[in-house]
């Protein structure tokens, strides 16, 4: 296994999954998972979609003393609320309509091993209560049975939600959160992993080029690398992989660096336009009490003062961007391609802060 000092750091898991990266934030998260792996305690993995929560769960299992026992995965959001408890704890024949035979649940399947509960925040309060008992006493009771079954399961749970905030609102059991948060590993989003976008793009690009039978890997053109670096990557590594593989698949000349990338595959001049709902027709106030400004088209037929027309249009664009970014000036400046000082000058020039006040 490579050491953490090697850059880029690549760990090949049992399946076709890899940890790839060199940023400090990424390596810290992997190191914390490695440190927690031998423990028998629960671990909670927090992160945005596409950050690799399931990979961390697999690492926690493979580096534990349970590595040769089952790793059972359950996505709590993939099942309707009425079936989650039966899926987790099992059921007896005839316990409910459609239960024609006995079935063990995921807890029993994971006995002596690890149970990974993805999308934990979607569990119903009833399922949370039964999960709490299973975690606390090591017992599960199948639906339709009165006899508890002893299980030895290590819980790893994942979510992209703020569970402490949900607990404060009464939407998640605080006592269950206490039991599951012996260790909490928060995965950094791709946009803050300095240097990792280039490393990941090159890795996925080489793999896709090999899959397509290219005789070599030309890399990406400088402007494409710059575009990828500036992108926010809301879908994180999963989104990056799709974007890179799409770019390679659409590029015809493997002798030349890949010169075009598409971030939104749905973007098209012919895409269907959704009809506005009735609730959308009324203008709703945006954050901070401002109504979201509608950016008007510039009336080119009636421009009799060029400077004033340019100023008016500039003001509309800046105000629209400020509202869109909830008056966060640094985010607005980045979105408009301005420096922070340039944006501050525009705001002062058009008196926008006076309106905000």
* Chunked mean pLDDT (size 10), the chain, 357 residues: 41 55 93 95 96 95 95 90 84 76 89 95 90 90 87 96 95 95 96 94 96 94 94 95 96 91 88 65 47 53 77 86 81 87 85 61
What pLDDT was estimated at residue 286? 46
Q: Which residues pair with 140 in a beta bridge?
A: 149
pLDDT score for 275: 62
Residue 76 CA: distances (Å) to CA of 104, 131, 185, 236, 336: 17, 12, 19, 21, 39
Sign of CA dihedral 306, 307, 308, 313: positive
pLDDT at 142: 86
Length of the chain: 357
Instruction: Tell me the pTM.
Output: 0.70
- Give the per-residue pLDDT at 86: 85
Rounded Cα distance between 100 and 19, Å, is 43
pLDDT at 17 (0 to 100):
55
Query: What is the structure's pLDDT at 289?
Result: 46
Could you tell me the two tokens for 171? 């939407």
Query: Nearest-5° angle of CA 222, CA 232, CA 342?
Result: 80
Q: How many angstroms separate the CA atoms of 75 and 90, rounded? A: 16
Peptide bond preceding 311: is omega within 30 degrees of 0, i.e. cis? no
pLDDT score of 256: 93
Among 237, 171, 222, 243, which Cα is nearest to 23's? 237
What does the pLDDT read at residue 280?
53
Q: What is the pLDDT of residue 173?
A: 95
Q: Which domains does the chain have, with CATH numbers?
A: 9-188 (3.40.50.300), 191-250 (1.10.8.60), 288-356 (1.10.10)
The per-residue pLDDT for 79 is: 81
């Amino acid at each position: 296994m490579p050491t953490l000092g090697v850059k880029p750091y690549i760990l090949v898991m049992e399946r076709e999954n890899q940890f790839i990266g060199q940023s400090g934030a990424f390596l810290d998260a992997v190191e914390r998972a490695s440190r927690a792996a031998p423990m028998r305690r629960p671990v909670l993995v927090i992160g945005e979609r596409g950050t690799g929560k399931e990979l961390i769960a697999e690492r926690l299992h493979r580096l534990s003393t349970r590595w040769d026992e089952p790793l059972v995965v359950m996505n709590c959001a993939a099942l309707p609320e009425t079936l989650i408890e039966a899926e987790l704890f099992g059921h007896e024949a005839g316990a409910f309509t459609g239960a024609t035979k006995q079935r063990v649940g995921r807890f029993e399947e994971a006995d002596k091993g690890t149970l990974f509960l993805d999308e934990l925040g979607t569990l119903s309060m009833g399922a949370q209560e039964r999960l709490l008992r299973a975690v606390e006493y090591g017992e599960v009771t199948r639906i339709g049975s009165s006899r508890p079954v002893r299980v030895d399961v290590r819980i790893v749970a994942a979510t992209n939600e703020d569970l402490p905030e949900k607990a404060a609102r009464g939407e998640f059991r605080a006592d269950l959160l206490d039991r599951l948060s012996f260790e909490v590993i928060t995965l950094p989003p791709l946009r803050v992993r300095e240097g990792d976008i280039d490393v990941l793009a090159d890795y996925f690009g080489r793999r896709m080029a090999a899959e397509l039978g290219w005789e070599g890997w030309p890399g990406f053109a400088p402007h494409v690398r710059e575009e990828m670096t500036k992108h926010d990557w809301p879908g994180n590594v999963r989104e990056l992989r799709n974007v890179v593989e799409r770019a390679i698949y659409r590029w015809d000349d493997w002798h030349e660096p890949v010169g075009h990338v598409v971030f939104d595959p749905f973007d098209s001049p012919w895409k269907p336009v959704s009809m506005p709902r009735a609730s959308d027709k009324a203008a709703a106030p945006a954050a901070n009490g401002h109504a979201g400004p509608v950016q008007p088209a510039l009336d080119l037929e009636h421009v009799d003062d060029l400077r004033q027309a340019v100023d008016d249009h500039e003001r509309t664009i800046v105000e629209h961007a400020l509202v869109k970014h909830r008056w966060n000036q640094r985010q607005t400046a980045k979105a408009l391609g301005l420096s922070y000082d340039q944006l501050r000058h525009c705001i002062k020039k058009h008196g926008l802060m006076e309106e905000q006040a």
